[in-house]
Structure 1
Amino acid sequence: MLRLAALFAFLLPQVADAAVCEIQRFEDTSFTACEVRVGEDLRLFHSGPSGPLGSFNAVNAALAAEGKTLGFAMNAGMYHPNRAPVGLLIEQGSTQSDIVTAQGPGNFGLLPNGVFCIGERFSVVESRAFSATPPKCSYATQSGPMLVIDGALHPRLIPDSDSTFIRNGVGVSADGTRAVFVISNDRVNFHRFARFFRDALGLPDALYFDGKISRLYAPAVRRNDLGFAMGPMVGTVVNKD
């Protein structure tokens, strides 16, 4: 039986035009992959008038004023205890938090890390390259480490590592027309998680979002993970009715 990424989840009705989300198996590990194509309304969400939104339900409440709702969503980057983003965050073309290019502790500082950019096309760009020549992004979030870089795995990923968690991230096609958001349904190490993007999905660039707190909102597979309040979130926006 499929093990969900969060301890608590509840079933949702299907939403028309929601992102295509499918459960796939790779080397005895279950993953849920949600594919988004250029032209879909994909956004990053962090704060509202009262501060960080923190949950999928809060995002849906904010979108209700537009007559919209989430098609799918997941957490999209690491954050401080006050839920401020760690590293770059761009929302609606405005930089809310600056890029960090220095090596540091933890997964975020395991260079190379990267930026997921939503512009005319999707891209995952190594952070220092992004800082040197910033592409035009309507939305962007920085996280780390990179998982796949031009078809090569991050050099510090260990094949037989026993550090396993529920993990999530994003990969982008070579032409930038597709972004695939993935969450593991089973505990997985970095190496296998990266190889799922490269070897199972055929994506040449992929970025890690987080572990432990990784959660998914996906009406297409009747899933809404609950848990602690989140920082940045990414999701598609669709008509409510």
Structure 2
Amino acid sequence: MKRVILTAAAFTALAACNEQPAGEPIVRAELGEGTANGEVVQAPDAEATSQEPEVASACRSVSFENVPLTHCVADPAEHRVTTRLGQSGSGPFRSLSAFAETVDDQTIAFAMNAGMYGDDGEPIGYYVENGDRQEELNRSEGPGNFHMKPNGVFFGTGGTWRVLSADRFYSTVRDRPRFGTQSGPMLVIDGELHPDIQDNGPSRAIRNGVGVSDDGKAHFVISNGALSFGQLARFYRDELKVKNALFLDGNVSSLWDPATDRLDRGVIGPMIVVTKREGAGG
């Protein structure tokens, strides 16, 4: 399948971001402080494709408060969710395009960046891949969005997926999940917006997040234009009716949707990969 590479002005600042010390979030404090380079991030420029998608996409274009978004849904009846970081012995992939070269795109529903990471591409918080815990839960204090408490964990086993605050995850989850990734801050907590998120703060950036609805579906949202934390949180609460949603990252937010030939270019760390169940539609 032909792949179209998308570019975004946001990714021009990544080189500077990657010079941060290991173990620190790539995206610094954005709440009211602007983006990492102090500029408003613009939407990716997509190249037009002349052919209709060969298969149905799990993602659709929507608009919320005049901001274009892409909303992707993982359905336990049709999909599996995994985390991926890199190939054994080779380190992190660092991009969706590098990962795409290693798999059959016919098996992929979509993939997204999965949270914050250090300058080596390794996750800075809880990370489980195929039942192997590679990073423990991070409950430390610190600067930036990741440490804006409460942060949270997206995790699951089989077709059961959840988003919980890090403290609730620590106190209630006893069995290690099959996959898990920690990021922050939480956007929506038990149906309420994160208490420190402004209704419409001055920080604007490309952003993405994940939440799980009452019917068990995981909702992944990535903005195609700059938006505030408050807007993203309200979309989850008011439009998707999601009670718990987690911010994944800012300017590096990226999506691979093979059905529409969308393949964003950017330097990332861990990934969430949604694959098709054998025999499922599409």
Partner of 1:51: 91
**Greater strand share, structure number:** 1
The structure having more radius of gyration, on CA atoms, is 2
> Residue 78 of structure 1 aligns to a residue in which SS?
coil
The structural deviation recorded for 1:235 is 1.8
- Paired AA for residue 247 in structure 2: Y
For residue 153 of structure 1, the aligned residue among 176, 188, 193 is 193
1:230 is aligned to 2:249: no
The structural deviation recorded for 1:171 is 1.1
Q: Aligned partners of 2:255 and 2:48: how far apart in 1?
A: 12
1:207 is aligned to 2:209: no
> Residue 196 of structure 2 aligns to a residue in which SS?
coil
Partner of 1:91: 129
- TM-score, with length taken from structure 2: 0.76
Partner of 2:223: 184
The root-mean-square deviation of aligned C-alpha atoms, in Å, is: 2.2
Identity of aligned residues (%): 39
CA distance 1:5–1:34, shift in 2 (3 Å): farther
> Residue 204 of structure 2 aligns to a residue in which SS?
coil
Q: Aligned partners of 2:136 and 2:54: how far apart in 1?
A: 35
> Residue 103 of structure 2 aligns to a residue in which SS?
helix
- Answer yes or no: is the 8 Å Cα contact 2:97–2:263 preserved in 1: no
Partner of 1:106: 144
> Residue 72 of structure 1 aligns to a residue in which SS?
strand
- Paired AA for residue 55 in structure 1: S
Q: Aligned partners of 1:153 and 1:204: how far apart in 2?
A: 9
User: Which runs of structure 2 are paired with 1:210-221 in the superposition (5 Å)?
Assistant: 210-221=249-260
Partner of 2:119: 81
- TM-score, with length taken from structure 1: 0.88
- Paired residues in the alignment total 232
- Paired AA for residue 220 in structure 1: A
CA deviations 1:161-196 (Å, max 9, x no partner) are: 110100001011124x10010001111110111001
Identify which range, 149-158 or 128-137, moves more after superposition: 128-137
- Paired AA for residue 192 in structure 1: Q
CA deviations 1:88-123 (Å, max 9, x no partner) are: 000001101111112321000000000001224110
User: Which runs of structure 2 are paired with 1:136-151 in the superposition (5 Å)?
Assistant: 136-151=176-191
For residue 211 of structure 2, the aligned residue among 146, 163, 171 is 171
- Answer yes or no: is the 8 Å Cα contact 1:5–1:186 preserved in 2: no
Q: Aligned partners of 2:47 and 2:212: how far apart in 1?
A: 29
The structural deviation recorded for 1:85 is 0.2
The structural deviation recorded for 1:136 is 4.1
- Answer yes or no: is the 8 Å Cα contact 1:5–1:185 preserved in 2: no
Q: Aligned partners of 2:209 and 2:144: how far apart in 1?
A: 16
The structural deviation recorded for 1:9 is 5.2
CA deviations 1:184-231 (Å, max 9, x no partner) are: 11111101110011111111110000001111111334311112x210
Structure 1 runs, 4 residues or longer, greater than 3 Å off: 7-18
Q: Aligned partners of 2:204 and 2:124: how far apart in 1?
A: 22
> Residue 198 of structure 1 aligns to a residue in which SS?
helix
CA deviations 1:37-57 (Å, max 9, x no partner) are: 114122111021211112223
1:196 is aligned to 2:235: yes
Identify which range, 200-209 or 41-50, moves more after superposition: 41-50
- Paired AA for residue 70 in structure 1: I
